[in-house]
């Protein structure tokens, strides 16, 4: 009996449909089926093998087309998940990436960041001079606590700063009357030879009281002289007496009226007279700037020019003082913002400049202004005639600021 061995297609692990349909092919058992004609059996087996081979070829082609469509992302409703493979980086090749690791030509990102960090830390730090070093042995200078004191004053300063629009609540007085009152009090202050602290505290008491109580026009001067009496009692060693203020006001008010107003002001203000004024900051900033007598007087002149101006209330006392020192240094042709001044003021030149521009405007108009008390005071030899110095008009370059003059 002749034996016929059927050769099956090679089976593959994946992607070959022959694994599934291979069972359709006749298996070779080594025995021939009995039949009437052996050649007919051979032809029948060959026909079956050809049909199976054709079917397998069709299925393989269909599988290839389906796989290609899946890879191109064009088959809708495909159940096979698409995966993305990442090609591993080849550090052995001479690519641009490998070139970045070459320290002779380029730096890696880590080394670049490290070098920048080291460069930033290598920047020379500006030495801030210790302005209190010379006063270490002076117990009155309070060098151990002076920085804490000024830090506290800056922190509580907003609590005692009056709102800019408080005059709207007054029905019988306005900002021009306030300016006239303060201008007159500058003359009284000079007449009584009082300290600068007294003048600044007087102005502060007046503004704070006007925010809490409505004052008539006839009593505005009474508020002014009483505020100066309180400030003198607080600041001076020998304060003027009540009768002195009765006399200086041309007996417009009697002793009892002043005493009654004194009690009223104290009650309205809660007996709080310990407040930071521009004078306190001015003394500190002048020390930081290393100012001489002329610069000191010029800064005081500019600060006192701002006292009658209602619009200058928008600036805090610390900023006004910093701007006055800045403008005084600029007027004298010196460095207007030395390192020590920047450090101890805690503000930038950009923050100071708008206020400084308004001070220059006030200085420029001072000789022709209707209120002349401050200008005349600083035009005498005792104050080195600093009011006669030309204003620092160079500060007016750029964005200008205007301030209304008191008429």
Q: What is the pLDDT of residue 119?
A: 61
Q: In this structure, are residues 191 and 382 in contact, taking their beta carbons and an 8 Å threshold?
A: no
**pLDDT tens readout for residues 319-331:** 999 999 999 999 9
Q: What angle do CA 386, 355, 283 make, to 5 degrees?
A: 55
Which pair of structure tokens corresponds to residue 182?
């303060």
CB contact set of 306 (below 8 Å; sequence gap of 6+)? 312, 315, 320, 324, 358, 359, 362
CA distance 373 to 179: 11
**Which ranges constitute the DSSP H helices of 161-195?**
175-191
Q: What are the structural domains, with CATH classification, of the chain? A: 170-275 (1.10.472.10), 278-396 (1.10.472.10)
DSSP assignment of 360-393 equals HHHHHHGGG-S--HHHHHTTSGGGTTGGGSPP-G
Q: Provide the residue count of the chain.
A: 407
**pLDDT (tens digit, 9 = 90+) per residue, 237-285?**
999 999 999 999 999 999 999 999 999 999 999 999 999 999 999 999 9
Cα 404 from chain centre = 30
What's the pLDDT at 36? 46
> Against a cut of 0.85, is the pTM above it?
no
For the chain, which ranges sit under pLDDT 50? 1-7, 15, 17, 21-26, 28-36, 74-79, 86, 91-105, 123, 400-407
Give, in order, the Cα–Cα distances in Å from 85 to each of 61, 88, 133, 145, 242. Answer: 26, 9, 70, 68, 96
Q: Residue 249 corresponds to which tokens in the numbers above?
A: 């006001």
Q: Report the distance separating Cα 86 and Cα 303, nearest Å.
A: 72
Q: Compute how many other C-beta atoms are within 10 angstroms of the C-beta atom of residue 323.
A: 31
Q: How far is CA 291 from the centre of its chain?
A: 29
Go through 333-351 and write b for each residue having 16 or more CB atoms within 10 A of its CB, e for each that does not.
eeebbeebbbebbebeeee
Using the structure block, give the residue that is written with the tokens 């992607």.
15
């Amino acid at each position: 009996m002749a034996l016929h061995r059927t050769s099956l297609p090679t089976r593959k692990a994946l992607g070959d449909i022959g694994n599934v349909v291979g069972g359709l092919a006749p298996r070779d058992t080594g025995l021939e089926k009995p039949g009437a004609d052996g050649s007919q059996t051979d032809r029948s087996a060959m026909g079956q093998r050809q049909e199976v081979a054709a079917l397998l070829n069709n299925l393989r082609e269909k599988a290839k087309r389906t796989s290609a469509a899946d890879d191109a992302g064009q088959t809708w409703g495909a159940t096979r998940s698409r995966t993305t493979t990442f090609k591993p980086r080849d550090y052995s090749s001479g690519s641009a990436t490998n070139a970045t690791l070459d320290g002779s030509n380029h730096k890696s990102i880590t080394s670049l960041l490290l070098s920048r960090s080291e460069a930033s830390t290598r920047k020379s730090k500006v030495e801030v001079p210790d302005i209190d070093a010379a006063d270490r042995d002076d117990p009155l200078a309070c060098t151990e606590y002076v920085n804490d004191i000024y830090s506290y004053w800056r922190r509580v300063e907003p609590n005692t700063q009056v709102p800019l629009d408080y005059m709207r609540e007054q029905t019988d007085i306005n900002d021009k009357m306030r300016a006239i009152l303060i201008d007159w009090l500058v003359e009284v202050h000079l007449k009584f030879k009082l300290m600068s602290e007294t003048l600044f505290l007087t102005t502060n008491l007046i503004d704070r009281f006007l925010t809490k109580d409505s004052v008539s026009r006839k009593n505005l001067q009474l508020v002014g002289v009483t505020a100066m009496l309180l400030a003198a009692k607080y600041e001076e060693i020998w304060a003027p007496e009540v009768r002195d203020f009765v006399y200086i006001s041309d007996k417009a008010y009697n002793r009892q009226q002043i005493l009654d107003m004194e009690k009223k002001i104290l009650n309205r203000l809660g007996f709080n007279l310990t407040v930071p004024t521009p004078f306190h900051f001015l003394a500190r900033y002048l020390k930081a700037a290393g100012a001489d007598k002329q610069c000191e007087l010029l800064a005081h002149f500019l600060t006192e020019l701002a006292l009658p101006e209602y619009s200058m209330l928008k600036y805090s006392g610390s900023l006004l003082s910093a701007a006055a020192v800045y403008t005084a240094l600029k007027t004298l042709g010196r460095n207007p913002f030395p390192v020590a001044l920047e450090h101890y003021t805690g503000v930038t030149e950009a923050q100071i400049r708008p206020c400084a521009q308004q001070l220059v405007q006030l200085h420029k108009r001072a000789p022709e202004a209707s209120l002349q008390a401050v200008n005349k005071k600083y035009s005498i030899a005792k104050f080195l005639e600093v009011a006669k110095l030309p204003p620092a008009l160079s500060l007016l370059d750029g964005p200008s600021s205007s301030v209304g003059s008191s008429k």
